[in-house]
A and B are shown apart, each in its own frame.
Chain A
Amino acid sequence: MSSVNPPARFSAEFDANSQEFSLAGVVRPRSADEIATSISTLKEAIEEVRGVLYINVKRLIQMNNTAFHAFVRVVLDACRARSDLRFVIITSSVVGWTTRMFAHLNKLDPQITVEVYDSKFYPGQNFVENTSFIPILRTQTKMTWRHERAILPRHGMRPGIVMADICCGIGDFAVLVQKDFQPARIVALDHSRASLAYARDVAAGFGISGIEYTYGDASEMLLEGNQFDLVTCRHSLQIFNRPDVLLGELYRICKPGGRVYVTNEKNSHCLGEPRSQSIQWTYNEVAKLFSHFEMDVELGPKSRRYLADAGFEDIIVESFMVTNLDGDPRDFADVIMAWEDVYAGEMAVKRGDSAEFIQRFRQGFQDHIFAALHPKGYAGWPIWVASGRKPL
């Protein structure tokens, strides 16, 4: 073991606009003196705020008792000195011990309340985390893998790497990667307990071990920074209302010199012959429907810009088209059927669409299936792949 000091893994910041003091990372000092600057930041924050100070520890990965006592001391002293001030501590349901440790503070002083942050991140969350989304994910990955298997090596995939698949869904991508590329380590993270349970069942059923499925919030991950050679995030930037925040997290956990790989769609570009017009109408509506729930399923071609804005270099973008000719056309039809079930059967209903609209909406999916299964038909689903290197 080396005696070199590890790089700074901890931050304590105050944002005056939101009256929020945030602790993030790993803090295990030998004495409180080592965190004197952070303690001063907290004291200054207390001086500055009016009414309430939010203390955000959602991204606090580790904090030893020495640091805990030091920060708590400041807060408790402030409670005594300032009856006008309230403290709201925000912990994450993902990090079990912080939730337990901080929950006690309310017992020490009623001016302190503790909130556990979870879910309800954005309007579309419920759809994608629901079990009814599972058939979509299962059928999709089956179709995309034949393309991505050939594409991935150009984006940094190779045996022996340490990788993470963020927003892994039911984990089928991780299983395929492990089988075909043998990385040294795969962490697969998602915020859907239903999908993770499914993933673990599948892995157990196939006797697959070594994929570390973990529950987490991709926009505030418990994973330490700079540790993965390759971070993949498929079909998921497009479902976040703040893709830049998610991308920032992917960047953080990626090693300098490593790559972040994202795939996204442009749903309005799904196509088919015959019946192209009905198909096109429906997929234009799909894009509008998702945008109603603050999801941008047109993101694919924008991924180059997102990666550039996030600070990546050596950005590579390519696209591929999943079609009914890729294999058994019924597999393609299964994808469309799964879409129709959720998009028309759940999301449009949730938006409050009329029966006429939903019928026409469904017709486009049916026509897409018709095109896929037609002996002379052609049906396509285009996908954009983009990756960038985190600078050294």
Chain B
Amino acid sequence: MHVAEREPEADFEPLLQLEMEMGTFLSDWHHCDQLSTFVARMISLNRTDPVRHSNFFSSALNELLEVLFRGGFPDGQIGCAVYRQGPTERVKLTFPCPPRQRHFLNEAVAKARRGDALARYLDSISTDLAPTRDAVLLDLTINFDALIHLEDSAPSSITLVVDLPLEGIVT
């Protein structure tokens, strides 16, 4: 695992960045829990209520990592960077993504942003046996007030950008 600083987003203060071989990440399901707990603790330390902020943040990040785990390809690297602007943390997850996957992901993100997100979220709770990727993104939108978009990074990878305004919800 490699921890480093990197170029800040405009107006966003960089808090932390991790990189990991995708193969290593995918070798154990518990990495999702461990990474989200660790990252949440680190970035919440100077929030008003670090314990509750961290609990909330870990919940969201874990869902994102689980999505990556389930759809993950063992080649390349996974990157996780967290930035802050005011009450919002921005999570950027960069991971290898072949063109077909990219298309599905784009659709899922677009759906999570639509006006009927709540209705579709409720529908997914009442009908899906297990949560789909769409349901997880809806959960983040509805329960964490997340704003999600995608950025293209290197040709074979993609960056999922999730803004989480948790400070306001926690305190």
A: which residues have CB within 8 A of B?
Answer: 1, 3, 5-6, 26, 28, 30-32, 61-62, 64-66, 68-70, 72-73, 76, 94-97, 100-101, 104-105, 107-108, 187, 189, 200, 209-210, 212-216, 222-223
Q: Which of A64, A72, A100 has the most CB of B within 10 A?
A: A64
10 cross-chain pairs, A with B, having the tightest CB-CB distances, nearest first: A214-B51, A65-B131, A212-B50, A3-B28, A100-B143, A30-B29, A97-B59, A28-B33, A214-B49, A69-B131
Residues of B contacting A107 in the complex (Cβ-Cβ under 8 angstroms): 122
The answer to whether A31 touches B52 (Cβ under 8 A) is no
A104 touches B33 (CB 8 A): no
User: Does B56 reach chain A (CB closer than 8 Å)?
Assistant: yes
Query: Are B55 and A62 in contact, CB atoms less than 8 angstroms apart?
Result: yes
Q: How far is the CB of A91 from chain B (nearest CB, A)?
A: 12
Secondary structure type dominating chain B contacts: helix
Offer 10 A-B interface pairs, CB within 8 angstroms, sorted by A.
A3-B27, A28-B33, A61-B55, A65-B136, A70-B130, A73-B129, A101-B143, A187-B50, A212-B50, A214-B49
Q: Which of B2-57 contact A (CB under 8 A)?
A: 27-35, 45-46, 48-52, 55-56
Complexed CA–CA distance, A108 and B123 (Å): 9
Cβ-closest chain B residue relative to A9? B33
**Cβ B55 vs Cβ A212 within 8 A:** no
A96 to B58, CA, bound (A): 12
Bound Cα distance A212, B144 (Å): 22
Please measure, in the bound complex, the distance between the C-alpha atom of A311 and the C-alpha atom of B27, giving whole angstroms.
39
Partner of B62, one of A28, A200, A209: A28
A214 to B50, CA, bound (A): 7
Task: State the main secondary structure of chain A at its contact with B.
Answer: mixed
Please tell me if B128 contacts chain A, counting CB pairs below 8 Å.
Answer: yes
Chain B 121-142 near chain A by CB (<8 Å), digits 1 or 0: 1100110111100011001001
Residue B108, interface by CB 8 Å? no
Give the CA-CA distance A358 to B147 in the complex, in Å. Answer: 58
CA distance A59 to B148 in the complex (A): 29
- B27 pairs with A187, CB closer than 8 A: no
Interface contact A187-B51, CB-CB below 8 Å: yes
**Chain B, 150-169, contact with A by CB distance < 8 Å: what is the 0/1 string?**
00000000000000000001
Q: Which of B30, B52, B126 contacts A3 (CB 8 A)?
A: B30
> What is the chain B residue whose CB lies nearest that of A223?
B51
Judged by a CB distance under 8 angstroms, whether B117 is at the interface is no
A64 CB contact (under 8 Å) in B1, B51, B66, B125: B66
Point out the residues of chain A lying under 8 angstroms from B129, CB to CB.
32, 69, 73
Cβ-defined partner of A95 (8 Å) among B28, B46, B55: B55
The reply to whether B51 and A189 contact each other, CB–CB distance below 8 Å, is yes
Question: Which A residue sits closest to B51, measured CB to CB?
Answer: A214
User: Known: A95-B55, A96-B56. Contact between A72 and B125, CB under 8 A?
Assistant: yes
Q: Give, as a whole number of angstroms, the nearest-CB distance from B159 to chain A.
A: 22
User: 8 other contacts beyond A28-B33, A69-B130, A210-B45, with CB at 8 A cut-off?
Assistant: A3-B30, A28-B62, A28-B66, A64-B66, A65-B63, A65-B139, A66-B66, A222-B51
> Which of B29, B51, B139 is close to A212, meaning CB atoms less than 8 Å apart?
B51
